[in-house]
Amino acid sequence: MKEAADQSWIQTQSTSKPSLTVKPLENLTVTAGVGLQWRQTTNDAIYVQPSIPLPGTAGRGGSLTGVYEQLCIDYAFSPNLSGAIELVHFHVGDAISKAGGSDGNYVGIELKAAW
């Protein structure tokens, strides 16, 4: 039982992300979503990658970790070449804000070649 308790942090965050995907062209896919993240118990800290507890969040603030909007655009240039752009804006929840954190943005650009 001690081993399970030592690794309980793995199960402390949950995410729900409804999304909508449209394909306006045969080789173009656009996906938009809104993600909600929360911790299962406010007794635990909020964790950032790679599983590092955020100081000042254990036992403080609400369950909501944050909310993010995500837009993904995928395009197939050919059967062997595709690209993607991902845009994300994360709104921090009360616990992260009170610990000194702030909203953040992410931009990802990917190009894949296959042969």
Please compute the mean of the pLDDT values over residues 44-59 and round it to a whole number. 87
pLDDT tens-digit readout, 15-47: 788 999 999 999 999 999 999 998 888 888 888
Please compute the mean of the pLDDT values over residues 57-64 and round it to a whole number. 88
What per-residue confidence (pLDDT) applies to 1? 35
pLDDT tens-digit readout, 80-115: 999 999 999 999 999 899 889 999 999 999 999 998
Please name the residue ranges forming H helices in 2-110: 2-6, 94-98
**Band of residue 10 on the pLDDT scale cut at 50, 70, 90:** very low
What per-residue confidence (pLDDT) applies to 88? 97
Kindly list the domain boundaries of the chain, sorted by start residue.
Answer: 2-113
Question: In whole angstroms, what is the distance from residue 48 CA to residue 28 CA?
Answer: 33
The answer to pTM > 0.85 is no
Residues ≥6 apart with Cβ < 8 Å to 50: none
